[in-house]
A = this chain, B = another copy of it.
Amino acid sequence: MDTVKVIEIKKSVFEDNEKDAAGLRKELKDKGVYLLNLMSSPGSGKTTTLIRTINLLRDKISIAVMEADIDSDVDAIKIKEATGIQSIQLHTGGMCHLDAEMTRQGLDNVDMKGLDLVILENVGNLVCPAEFDTGACRNAMILSVPEGHDKPLKYPLMFSVCDLVIVNKIDVLPYFDFDLEKCKEYVHMRNPKAQVIPICAKTGEGVEKVAEWLLTEVKNWKNK
């Protein structure tokens, strides 16, 4: 089994997260690197979705991944084995979210040379990560079919801060009471501009749309 770099993230000592986040975003802009913050509940399929998306994009752009987890290293190893890209593990030591300073601690351990895109897989949690700007260019989240289409009603902030909502596990739609149209309606109540892309990360269905969205984002970021 591959080993990956594991970074023990320390709690931020800086108080002004918004200022830190804006500063980090400016630095990323100067370097021409796009940072995506990917959030979701535990078990929604973040890692599998990432592997599929990265494999569609890795010949076009240079990508690295930072996997945030409370304790384990399984996700970073899985990504490295399945895609071959630069993948590091961030241990949050029990912390339920990442802020801009914690994200920077992770980025300090990424080789940024020639890089176009860094994807941060945030801690599995629909509440706290939404409250902290990580300094990413965009926030995206995954809602999986078994969680139910009512989640934008119950976790309003998460859906307000995300510009892309990936609806995963559409292969099991026949077995759950999940209404995709209602889901889109609820998402747009929180963020009218959010894009909703239904996928099945297991089979790859729809993932090319996520890859396209991300590629356009990265190109626009570099040319803006």
Contacts and interface: CB of A to CB of B under 8 A. Distances in A.
Contacts of A172: 146, 172, 175-176
Contact of A42 (B69, B131, B155, B176): B155
A127 B72 contact: no
Which of A43, A148, A172 gathers most chain B CB within 10 Å? A43
B124 A71 contact: no
Interface string A125-144: 11110010000000000001
B146 A43 contact: yes
A147 interface: yes
A147 B42 contact: yes
A125 B126 contact: yes
Nearest to A69: B154
Nearest to A95: B127
Contacts of A72: 153-154
A70 B144 contact: no
A52 B2 CA distance: 45
Given A125-B126, A128-B128, 16 more contacts: A41-B43, A42-B126, A42-B154, A43-B146, A43-B147, A70-B127, A70-B154, A72-B154, A94-B127, A96-B127, A124-B126, A124-B155, A127-B128, A146-B146, A146-B169, A175-B175
Contacts of A74: 150, 153-154
A51 B43 CA distance: 24
Nearest to A131: B94
Contacts of A179: none
A151 interface: yes
14 contacts: A41-B42, A41-B124, A42-B147, A42-B154, A43-B144, A70-B155, A71-B154, A124-B127, A124-B154, A125-B125, A127-B128, A146-B169, A171-B175, A172-B176
